[in-house]
Amino acid sequence: MGLYSRQQLENGAEIAIWEISEDEDDLRRLCSPIPNDELEELQLLKSAARRKEKLAVRALLNEMFPEKLYLGHHDNGKPYLQNCAVEISITHCSKYAAIIAHKELDVGIDIESLDRDFSAVEKKALSEDEKEDLSDKNTNLQLAIYWCAKEAIYKRMSRNGVDFAEQIEVEKFNPKAEGELEATFIHKDGTEEEFELNYEIFDNHIMVWLVG
């Protein structure tokens, strides 16, 4: 399939999604030439699925940016572009890879398949208030949105040792095909940052993102 969608947001961010339907050889040809450090990383990955996810990210970078870009990672794992002053966040699962980019503002994005069982999220990632807000209907979808929202905030904050249940609080919401979320990140010193996130469901996948 290749490029699934590419959209410019009103806030100046861009989101591009790649549907990973190609085999690994086709992806390598699409991505050529691949920077040497990424080739070395690919060689260390034993999982073919993981290699395809990494290649899909490279294909997206080539699609989004006309110049040749080099992808790096900070010590905490946050990706960055070594030769371009653009903020990015990356996510991938077995079928899709996505990148959000903004010229100035911090960003975060996460995508998950709704075929996944998210029941463990309630115990390991939700606060007591969030658990009380769970409904009896569409519980797996609600948990998926909670998880993706917290992952997106975690990526945007770029901090180690974040307690998802204690430090990231998502306000009550009713799951829809697309919508907005309000959330708070609580720093370990007690200070708080508030965020607005967006989400959408497509092809039985959930994607959540934030800018700023």
Distance in angstroms between the alpha carbons of the first and the last residue of the chain = 31
Supply the pLDDT for residue 77: 81
Q: Please identify, among 75, 104, 133, the residue that sits at the C-terminal boundary of a domain.
A: 104
Calculate what percentage of the chain has a pLDDT beyond 90.
Answer: 80
Supply the pLDDT for residue 162: 93
CATH of the domain at 28: 3.90.470.20
Q: Please identify, among 40, 69, 104, the residue that sits at the C-terminal boundary of a domain.
A: 104
Supply the pLDDT for residue 33: 86
Whether residue 68 is found in the same domain as residue 133? no
pLDDT digits (tens, 9 = 90+) for 61-111: 999 998 888 898 888 888 989 988 899 999 999 899 999 999 999 999 999
pLDDT digits (tens, 9 = 90+) for 39-59: 888 899 999 999 999 999 999
Whether residue 72 is found in the same domain as residue 137? no
Whether residue 56 is found in the same domain as residue 115? no
Whether residue 124 is found in the same domain as residue 80? no
Whether residue 37 is found in the same domain as residue 96? yes
Whether residue 25 is found in the same domain as residue 100? yes
Number of domains in the chain: 2
Whether residue 115 is found in the same domain as residue 180? yes
Whether residue 76 is found in the same domain as residue 129? no
Supply the pLDDT for residue 1: 63
Q: Of 30-34, 91-95, 137-141, 202-206, which gets the smallest average pLDDT?
A: 30-34
Whether residue 120 is found in the same domain as residue 193? yes
> Is a pLDDT exceeding 90 seen at residue 151?
yes
Residue 74 structural domain: 2-104
What pTM was estimated for this model as a whole?
0.94
Q: Read off the pLDDT of each residue in 140-163 and give the average, rounded to a whole number.
A: 95
pLDDT digits (tens, 9 = 90+) for 3-25: 999 999 999 999 999 999 999 99
pLDDT digits (tens, 9 = 90+) for 155-201: 999 888 899 999 999 999 999 999 999 999 999 999 999 999 999 99
Q: Please identify, among 62, 81, 104, the residue that sits at the C-terminal boundary of a domain.
A: 104
